[in-house]
């Protein structure tokens, strides 16, 4: 009993530290990037919330911000970047295209980045206002404090704890599991470069 109280207190302190030192990796693919720049610039000042520094290496980041349309062709790259980030990590889908595919409904556009990476907070809007982004960041901070980020829950589940959300299965670590982002869902023809 005493151990559990100790454990949860440490977790609360750690999560408090995590939520105010988010290092973002902006995966910017489209026009939402302009609004993201505005949010990060002094007028709206994302740095006030501790998410100061965009890192352009996934190994130095723990918040993946997917800004813009994701195509099926970009899927493996996005998945690889997510896999390269250190845990625990969080994902924000910035704008309707990253959230659902937006007004693109065609052969090339992925219907939401959550098809390849688990998204913690979705920001609607085309593009969203900076205020929405700040709101989403505060939502994410609350979620981090509660320990309910997707990767936090997966880590808990792998450590043998009960997880609150039944929809999240632990990752497939069987011998047949290929490196993530490289599973051949489509077949590359013979001789293709």
Partner 1 sequence: MSQLILDRLAATFTGGELEQIGSQHGNEWARVRRDAWRTVATFLRDDPACDLKMPTDLTAVDRVSREPRFDVVVHLYSVTKKHRVRLYAGVPEDDCTLDSLVSVWPGMDWFEREAYDLYGVRFRGHPDLRRILMYPEFVGHPLRKDYPKEKRQPLVRRDDLPINPIKAPHAGEHK
Quick one: DSSP state of residue 164?
Answer: S
In 3D space, the residue among 24, 29, 42 whose CA is nearest the CA of residue 136 turns out to be 24
Interacting span for partner 1 (CB under 8 A) from 40-48, 57-65, 75-83, 137-145 = 75-83
Which positions from 164 through 183 interact with partner 1, judged by CB under 8 A? 167-172, 177, 180-183
SS (H, E, C) 114-138: HHCCCCCEEECCCCCCHHHHHHHHH
Work out whether 106 is an interface residue with partner 1 (CB under 8 A): yes
Residue from 48, 59, 73, 146 touching partner 1 (CB under 8 A): that is: 73
Cα 117 from Cα 74, distance rounded (Å): 12
Closest among 174, 150, 159 to 82, alpha carbons compared = 150
How buried is 49 (Cβ within 10 angstroms: 0-12 exposed, 13-18 middle, 19+ buried)? Answer: middle
Structure tokens that stand for 24 in this block: 């973002």
- Minimum distance from CB of 104 to partner 1 (Å)? 11
159 in contact with partner 1 (CB under 8 A): no
**Which range of residues in 16-24, 42-50, 90-98, 116-124 is near partner 1 by CB under 8 A?**
116-124
Q: Please tell me the count of residues contacting partner 1 according to CB under 8 A.
A: 36
Query: What is the rounded CA–CA span in Å between residue 10 and residue 13?
Result: 5
Chosen residue from 42, 105, 159, 162 binding partner 1 by CB under 8 A: 105
Q: How far is the CB of 193 from partner 1 (least distance, A)?
A: 7
Residues 38, 130 contacting (CB under 8 angstroms): yes
Q: In the complex with partner 1, which residue's Cβ is closer, 116 or 137?
A: 116
C-beta closer to partner 1: residue 2 or 179: 179
Q: Which residues bind partner 1 (CB under 8 A)?
A: 72-73, 75-76, 79, 105-108, 110-112, 114-118, 167-172, 177, 180-189, 192-193
């Amino acid at each position: 009993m005493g151990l559990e109280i100790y454990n949860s207190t440490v977790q609360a302190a750690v999560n408090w530290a995590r939520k105010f030192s988010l290092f973002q990796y902006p995966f910017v693919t489209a026009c939402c990037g302009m609004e993201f720049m505005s949010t990060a610039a002094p007028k709206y000042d994302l740095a006030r919330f501790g998410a100061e520094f965009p890192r352009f290496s996934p190994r130095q980041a723990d918040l993946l911000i997917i800004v813009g349309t994701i195509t099926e062709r970009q899927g493996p790259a996005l998945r690889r970047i997510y896999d390269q980030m250190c845990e625990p990590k969080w994902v924000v889908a910035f704008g309707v295209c990253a959230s659902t595919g937006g007004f693109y409904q065609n052969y090339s556009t992925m219907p939401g980045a959550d098809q390849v990476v688990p998204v913690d907070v979705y920001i609607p809007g085309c593009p969203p206002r900076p205020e929405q982004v700040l709101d989403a960041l505060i939502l994410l901070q609350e979620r981090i404090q509660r320990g309910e980020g997707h990767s936090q829950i997966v880590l808990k589940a792998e450590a043998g704890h009960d997880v609150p959300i039944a929809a999240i299965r632990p990752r497939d670590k069987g011998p047949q599991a290929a490196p993530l982002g490289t599973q051949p869902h489509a077949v590359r023809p013979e001789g293709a470069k």
